[in-house]
């Protein structure tokens, strides 16, 4: 399915539980730009920096009409703690079975210190007001990533 994910194509809809206890779907954000970012794990160094970078850029992100949604395999309680600890002003979604991560092609076999395991490859998708892919970032490096996302959001 990930082969179909290219700019100009409709973004796959999803429904996932959030840290607030509600279930959120992509279609519920029609009319807004969506920054859908997938990250490996709550409260780890790179993921914390990425989340805090989005938090710190929230005023600029809101000016583009965007909402930010973070997705990982962590559960809602882990998300609640992570969000509260770092004062994150956006929802975190739990993809416990990796179904949405698979659909977006970000659930990958990884190799850490010679041990193979499956997890999320840090990736961000920018989706326009009509639900169409506007930009994609794979194998994200956290530094300056939010500036790159903002540049895509500001494009007409």
pLDDT in single tens digits along all 156 residues of the chain: 445 688 889 999 999 999 999 999 999 999 999 999 999 999 999 999 999 999 999 999 999 999 999 999 999 999 999 999 999 999 999 999 999 999 999 999 988 788 898 999 999 999 999 999 999 999 999 999 999 999 999 997
Given the residues 16, 26, 47, 71, select the one marked as catalytic: 47
Given this model, what pLDDT does residue 3 score? 52
Contact in structure between 81 and 74 (CB atoms under 8 Å):
no
- Find the CATH number of the domain harbouring 104: 3.40.30.10
Strand partners, 134: none
The DSSP-derived string for 80-112 is: HHHHHHHT--SEEEE-TT-HHHHHTT-EEEEEE
Chain centroid offset of residue 40 CA? 10
Give pTM, 2 decimals. Answer: 0.94
User: Is 52 a known active-site residue?
Assistant: no
Domain count, the chain: 1
- Residue 48: enclosing H or E segment and its boundaries? helix 45-56
Query: Nearest Cα to 33, choosing from 126, 123, 104?
Result: 126
Residue that has been written with the tokens 């997705």 in this structure = 71
Q: Residue 98 is part of which domain span?
A: 2-154
Distance CA 67, CA 52 (A): 15
């Amino acid at each position: 399915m990930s082969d179909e994910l290219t700019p100009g194509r409709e973004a796959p809809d999803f429904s996932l539980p959030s840290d607030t206890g509600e279930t959120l779907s992509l279609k519920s954000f029609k009319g807004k730009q969506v920054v859908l970012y997938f990250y490996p794990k709550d409260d780890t160094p790179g993921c914390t920096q990425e989340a805090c970078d989005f938090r710190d850029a929230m005023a600029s992100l809101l000016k583009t009409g965007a909402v930010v949604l973070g997705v990982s395999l962590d559960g809602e309680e882990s998300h609640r703690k992570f969000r509260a600890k770092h004062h994150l002003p956006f929802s975190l979604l739990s993809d416990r079975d990796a179904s949405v991560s698979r659909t977006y092609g970000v659930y990958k076999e990884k190799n850490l210190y010679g041990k193979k395991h499956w997890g999320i490859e840090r990736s961000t998708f920018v989706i326009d007001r009509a639900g169409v892919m506007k930009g994609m970032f794979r194998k994200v490096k956290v530094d300056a990533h939010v500036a790159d996302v903002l540049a895509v959001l500001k494009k007409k």
